[in-house]
Amino acid sequence: MKNKLCMIISVILMMGSIAASPGWVSSPAIQITDKAAFNVRLEPLTKDKNYFIAFRLTILNKTSKPLTIDWNKTRYLLNGKNNGGFVFKGIDTKLMKKAALPFEIIPAGQTLNKEIMPYKLLARGPFRDKTSDVGWHGITPGIIPAGQNGVSLVIRSGDQAVRFKINVTIQKKE
């Protein structure tokens, strides 16, 4: 009886883990690139979904001077092509539409961790909808599609700007 009960519980647990496995995969799961001045890490995120909805962007400033991120020129790349900007917690979309977002400063030796979502992929519902995953009325992250997905990041050090690209390949699991 105990063996039969253990087997039933094992099967139920196994079925639950299969049902919870993601329907999409990223290759690599986390892309890391190391440069002389900075280290960039890009990780697609599913949150509680079975598909990707956002990216975790981590940038380590390895210099003795502050670096800045130009969010006005940083772009979401889909299959190598510019597909608009990103949104994230605390962004003022009015400033985004005017390309007037302030630079984000990464102090010397510090790390920036930010969850970013492609603006063009956001799902927009009625303004009165308060079920948003990002804390905005009527806005939730959309599905990041299969293909090459990434960031064309503009990093500034003083007056010098560098455009840096990092990406992952997302596929739907069959």
Distance CA 69, CA 133 (A): 24
pTM (global) more than 0.85: no
Listed by start position, the domains of the chain span 24-172
> What is the tens place of the pLDDT at every residue in 146-155?
999 999 999 9
* Residue 136 near residue 107 (C-beta atoms within 8 A): no
Report whether CATH 2.60.40 matches the domain 24-172. Answer: yes
> What is the tens place of the pLDDT at every residue in 103-149?
999 999 999 999 999 999 987 665 554 444 444 445 678 899 999 99
